[in-house]
Structures are given as C-alpha cells and as structure tokens.
Structure 1
Amino acid sequence: MSDVMVYVQHLLGIGHVRRMALINQAMRDQGLTVTVASGGIPDPSLDFAADRVVQLPACRSADSNFSGLVDVNDTPVDDDWKERRKDDLLAAFKETAPKVLLIEMFPFGRRAFRFELIPLMTAAKQASVPIVCSVRDLLVRKTDPAKTKWMRDIAREYFDRVLVHGDQNLFGFDHSFPYADDIKDLIVYTGYVAPSHPKVASNTDHGATRNGVLVSAGGGAVGAGLIDLAIAAHGHSEKYQDVPWDIVTGPHFPQDRFDALVNTMPPGITLHRFLPDFRARMAKAAVSVSQAGYNTLMDVLSTQTPAVMVPFAEGGESEQKERGEILANAGVISLLDLDGLTAQSLAKQIDRAKPPQQLNVALNGAQKTASLIAALAKGTA
C-alpha cells in the first residue's frame, strides 16, 4: 500500500521522469509513501525517487514524429499487448490501494494510452480515490479541435484537480489550452517544478567562479544534430576554446554513434552518456547549451546560468519553441533554430551568452504539489 500512486509514461526524452522525480521526492519529504507505475523503457540511470516502482510492459515512440508505439523489441504494440498492460496497471492499482492517484500529462497528452487510463480512472472513482493531473505549463497545440474538446471533457469527468506546473505571472494555462476557463475550478497553479541549488555561483562573480561549457541533449533519443554542432562549435569559440567542454548525450543516444564520437573527440571535450551531478555542474558552468525542454529551462532559472538553447520541434512539437521564445523575449536565454544553424553561428552565440534576467515566477512547484497531494491524502483539501 502507498499514499500516492503515480502514473508516468516517457516516450522519447526523460523530462517527464525528471520532473516527476522532483515531485515524488517532495511528497516523500512530506511523509507520503509513493508508488510509481512506469510505462517507459527501463533505464538504470532513471531515478523515480519513489518508494516502489511498478514497471509496466514497456514501450516508446517509434520515431521522433510520434508515428506509433513500439515495445522493447521495436515491435509495434497490438491489442493483445494493450490488454495485458491494462490488466497489469489495474492490478498495480488494486495492490497499491492509494489514497490519491496522480497521473502525469493525461488527458492533455498521452492520448494513445486512454486504453488503460480510462479503466484506471474508472476504478479510482469507484473506490472514491481522488484523481489529480500533473501537467506542465504549455501543451503541444492540436490541429484537431475535437481532440482539445475531448481533453476538457475527460478532465471534467474524472479529475478532482489539474495541477499546472507554471506561473500566471509568466502566462496561464489558457495560453495553449483554449478551454482552460471551462475547467478553471479544477486548475491550481503550483509554480514551476525546479530543483533547489544551495550553492550557485553568483552573477557578479561570473567570470571568476564559473568555468566550462556544458552541452546536453535531454534523454538523447533526439538531439544528435545539436551534439554534432556543439562539437564543431568548440573549435570556433573565441572565448571558451581553452576551457573544458562537457557534452552529455543522454542515456538513449544510440550506442554505436556514441562509441564513434568518443574516439574522435578533440582535446578539451569530454563526452558523457549521463552525468549524475548534471545540475551541480550547470550551477558552475560558464554557459549551458541545450534543447529547450521544461526541466533544462528550470535548471537555468534556478542556477542563473547563461544559456543558449535550440528547441526540439519535430513531430509537431511546439511546446519547447513556444516557451523558449517567451523566455528569450524576457532576456532569460538565447534561442536558436536548428535549421540553418552552423558551428560558427553557434560558437558566436555561446561566446555572447549572458546571465539570465531575473523573473518574478515561483520555482517551488514540487513542494506546493506535494502539499496539495498530502492534503488530499489526509482528506483535508
């Protein structure tokens, strides 16, 4: 048994897991026990910060265009696979007997998993278990209005709370979800889910206390183009060519490509598949170069690290570019488009990177989420 059962499904990157891990740890700090039901491909580098992890039959996106789902053997999933996984999820819910069910993204994403989530939420309602959605600040925009209405209707029918991990001082949920007013009684803004960094180099001491360039590509399933450009940009940098560059490919970066790159690294560059102290290194880096995912942006905001970002925009993914443009306009980051980007132009932006402007936004989203869940678990919300 656990106080909270958390459902999370990562398809390409690991950002969903990283954000949920911060929330899970905050819930455990509140004295709650946490069971995670994970449907993504298992990886030893992933830490869910949970008391227990139930691994469902795993799947991922077939490609960066999200054309379909494949299992661990790269076989497209079929109805029999879905039925087995639904049964496993329902069995996990029955065994866990949680006081609160926390579902990441759905119904505002992960629509392909409604085959198991609708039965799960039906079981929770029958057991009078509160159902809470954990969703980031921005959604990928849908071209089909019927799908957007479906999100609203599912939220209204099943959910007790929709916890939006953003801050209205920057923008509201209605920025990307046109029916936000229809569920406004469910929405709670938690602030952004950001890590805490007790020792961050101050901006006034920037030149003296920060050193090196940190390049990252999220989980590594996408982002190879940025990795290649960053390696090439090293030789064109006038300001940072003589300092260490750490390039983190991510755990899902193809192994054969990683091995080939390791053997051809120029002096001064170290290639890593994964860095357990990534956030601590960012707090000390002179410049961060990355895609524009939610978690990396939060790392930048919490560490006040100068940042150059190249958003992932394949498969209709609008979220990284849209949030990145808002923060670039606010003077927080330098934003570049991968199309037409050269090693020389990337190096120039790295050399010009400046500490981010201060924003009046809350970064304690994990703690506020944990407090809200704890109140629901105790029946005091």
Structure 2
Amino acid sequence: MKRLMFYCQHILGIGHLIRSMEIIKGLTADFEVCFVNGGEVIHDFPIPDDVDVVNLPALKTDSEFRALQVPEGFDDVESAMAFRRDRLLEVCDRLQPDVLMVELFPFGRRKFSPELIPLIERARAMGTKVVSSLRDIVVTKQDQERHEAKVCKLMNRYFDQLLIHGDPQFMPLERSFSRVADLECPVYYTGYVVQGDSHTPTEITNAASIPQPLLLVSVGGGRFGHELLDCVAEAAEYLEQQIPHQIQMFTGPFSPDSVVQRMQAIAHQQPNLTVERYTPNLLAYMSRADLSISMAGYNTTMNVLTTGVRSLLLPFKGNDDQEQSIRSERLEELGVVSVIRPDDLNPERFAQRVVDMLAQTPSPMTFDLNGVTNTATYVRELCAGRLSLSQKAISPASVA
C-alpha cells in the first residue's frame, strides 16, 4: 500500500482533530496512514486500529487565541517546536510517505512554519506529494492583502493540491480568501466532511427511555463557550416550569474543572439537567435530540446538517475570528439554524427561545456532504499521477 502522513494541529477546540480523523478513516482503505497530532491528547477519542499515531509535545493557545503556551518539560515554545521539528523529520524519514497532508497550513497555523517548512521540504526532496486540507472558511487577518500574498507564495512553492472541505454553491472559499484563482496547484472542493455512523451509547439506545423533548447542549472542546453553559443551566429552572424535557449537557474535554463543578452543582438541584464532560458519540445524541444548543464550529454544524435537528448556534468570536459567524448566519438566512446573539444569553429570555424553537420545523436543505469519499478519491488520483499539476478546478461560484 501507498503511505500517507497526515499532520493536524488543534490548539483551542477539537474541530480540526475531529474533521481530520474522519478524513483519515476514508483514506485507510488505500493508504498506510501515520497520523501526527500536535495538540492535546483526548482520552477516549476514537482512532482506527490500523492508524499509526504520533503525538508530539502538545502545543495549545489561551482562550483568546493570542499566544501559544509552553508545554511541560520545555523552557519556551521555540525549544518545544525545535524538538517537534526533529520528531517530524524522523517520522518522515522512517515512513517515506507517498503523500503528506497538512491540515489548514498555510492558510492558517503559520506560527508552526519552523517545524512545517522543514518537514515539507524533506518530504518533497524524497518525491512526496504535498496536500493542503482546508475547511470552507479561513480566518481573515488585519492585513488581509499581505496574508493572502504569503499564502499564495507558500502554496505555489510547496503544494501539489488544495482540498477545500466545503460546498462552493453554499460557501465558496473566495468568501474568506480572494486569491483562489492565483493558486497554481489543482484546487478541489470535496464537499463537507461529516462524521460517519457512531456507536450509540447504551443510555440512549432505547428511545422510549429518553424524556422528550431532549435538549442537547455542547461547546466543542470546552475551552470557551462557558457563558452558553451558564445561561442554559440557569434557564433550566424556567424551562422546568413550561415544558416536559431533559437537558443533556456536555462541557467539553478541555473545560476547566471549575466550570464542570459549577454545572454539576446546578444539575444537582435541577432534575431536568444532566451534566457530563465529554462523549465520543455526540452525533448519536444529536440524532435523538429535539433541539441542539451549541457553539457554531464546523463539525457541530455538520452534525446539525446531517441529522436535520433544530439548532441554536452561538458563534465563537475570539481573536476577531468571523469563521463561525459567517457560516451560521448564512445558514440562518436559509432557515436551517437560528443564531444566538449576546443579548439572548439571559436565562429567562433564553428559555423562551428554546420553547419557541421547539415549535418550529427546520427548513430542509441539500448540501454536498461527501467530503470523506471525495477527499480519498482526489488524494488517490494525485498519488497515482492521474492529475496534472497544471490542471485547475474552478468552483462554480467563480465562473458564475
């Protein structure tokens, strides 16, 4: 089998890790896969048995997305990254990959250039094809023109393919990156990457045992979104007086202990509220839920589209990041979800929004959700040499 090395760096939430792992699952039929994780290890996170995992010393950021934190055992970020660089080169030399996939870079994660550029150069020197794996919306910068020029320079120098995990009819990359036409490598939209069938926990296997309606609350990794957890927990008292229901809350694997304990203390007084830190089976819960209340990350949003559940989404706006706002507001325009604004985070007012949402029927929409299958096809064809480097895929939105 051909060999593939996949680099993923999650530094705040877990969305990049979840999306990358779904892509990996689609590649294992054709490739011997080595998955390199640069972020914190999540206990109980499901990984296919046939995937070789390399966990680098974890780098993460503060909740405001401003600065990288020094991992344990290192004096500074620079020494940690130098160690990680050497480890990446060792793995590359050992594996001799036919394909190197790098998640997000160079559209983001450029702080990791000191370890990524040497890796990419080493891989290219041995004839490896290099692929950038990118979500549908990228973070815009204060000096966007300069940022885009750097991205184009790196893409055109180092990369053989760009795979955009989105649907151009809904959200073309040009919405957040104007110079797609200046990229010289083939550019392909794969469709959205969605989670496959997950194991259904025993506690929700029997639908008849679930109090109805079921309200599912989640905030991804849990490093942010605490204001949403607080609001829902306090709204439980008002909801208890209005409708029969059960609230299942997941605070996230990285949620501070103080937040988890605060939620559990409220749940102890509110029989309609159950609080847990993490589940690897969120999609299974969402498929049974009557309403999902969550942050507006890529993967949670994909779960909403997959299940068709009613949804209230709170976009993350730390570090002036507009990615979640752009996607969720577009979906709200189409009647698929409802966006939570800061003024909505009043417990009594929020309880009424929940009651109102339960009375609504989501608008059915059709999106390309074949991102896993299409990604595998494009990578396989690139590896087989069936795609010319001069070939260029233009999104329908670009030629309209």
How high is the TM-score relative to the length of structure 2?
0.87
Letter in 2 for 1:16: H
1:167 has 2:167 as partner: yes
The corresponding residue for 1:357 is: 363
Q: Distance in 1 between matches of 2:47 and 2:181?
A: 33
Q: Distance in 1 between matches of 2:40 and 2:280?
A: 19
Q: Do the aligned residues in 2 keep the contact of 1:4 with 1:32 (CA within 8 Å)?
A: yes
What are the ranges of 5 or more consecutive residues in structure 2 without an aligned counterpart? 201-209, 388-400
The corresponding residue for 1:344 is: 348
Letter in 2 for 1:245: I
Aligned pairs for 1:244-263 within 5 A:
244-263=246-265
The corresponding residue for 1:273 is: 277
State the 1:88 CA deviation.
0.8
- Residues 85, 329 of structure 1: CA spacing in aligned structure 2 closer, same or farther, 3 A cutoff? same
- Residues 270, 125 of structure 1: CA spacing in aligned structure 2 closer, same or farther, 3 A cutoff? same
Q: Distance in 2 between matches of 1:38 and 1:284?
A: 31
1:151 has 2:151 as partner: yes
- Residues 263, 344 of structure 1: CA spacing in aligned structure 2 closer, same or farther, 3 A cutoff? closer
SS at 2:238's partner residue? coil
1:93 has 2:92 as partner: yes
The corresponding residue for 2:228 is: 226
Letter in 2 for 1:189: Y
- Residues 308, 76 of structure 1: CA spacing in aligned structure 2 closer, same or farther, 3 A cutoff? farther
- Residues 312, 47 of structure 1: CA spacing in aligned structure 2 closer, same or farther, 3 A cutoff? same
Q: Distance in 1 between matches of 2:11 and 2:90?
A: 23
Letter in 1 for 2:311: A
RMSD (Å), alpha carbons: 2.4
1:289 has 2:293 as partner: yes
Q: Do the aligned residues in 2 keep the contact of 1:285 with 1:305 (CA within 8 Å)?
A: yes
State the 1:325 CA deviation.
0.6
Indicate the larger mover: 41-50 or 31-40.
Answer: 41-50
State the 1:222 CA deviation.
0.8
Indicate the larger mover: 79-88 or 16-25.
Answer: 79-88
Q: Do the aligned residues in 2 keep the contact of 1:305 with 1:355 (CA within 8 Å)?
A: no
Letter in 2 for 1:297: T
The corresponding residue for 1:109 is: 108
SS at 1:45's partner residue? coil
Q: Do the aligned residues in 1 keep the contact of 2:211 with 2:246 (CA within 8 Å)?
A: no
Seq. identity, %: 33
Letter in 2 for 1:191: G
The corresponding residue for 2:205 is: none
The corresponding residue for 2:7 is: 7
- Correspondence for 2:337 among 324, 333, 337: 333
Q: Distance in 2 between matches of 1:37 and 1:197?
A: 24
Q: How many residues align?
A: 372
Letter in 1 for 2:85: K
- Correspondence for 1:374 among 372, 380, 389: 380
Instruction: For residues 57-89 of structure 1, give each alpha carbon's deviation from its aligned partner in whole angstroms, at most 9, with x where no partner exists.
Output: 21100x122221113349773332221111111
- Residues 341, 152 of structure 1: CA spacing in aligned structure 2 closer, same or farther, 3 A cutoff? same
1:322 has 2:321 as partner: no
1:44 has 2:43 as partner: yes
What are the ranges of 5 or more consecutive residues in structure 1 without an aligned counterpart? 201-207
State the 1:146 CA deviation.
1.2
Indicate the larger mover: 119-128 or 70-79.
Answer: 70-79
Q: Distance in 1 between matches of 2:7 and 2:198?
A: 30
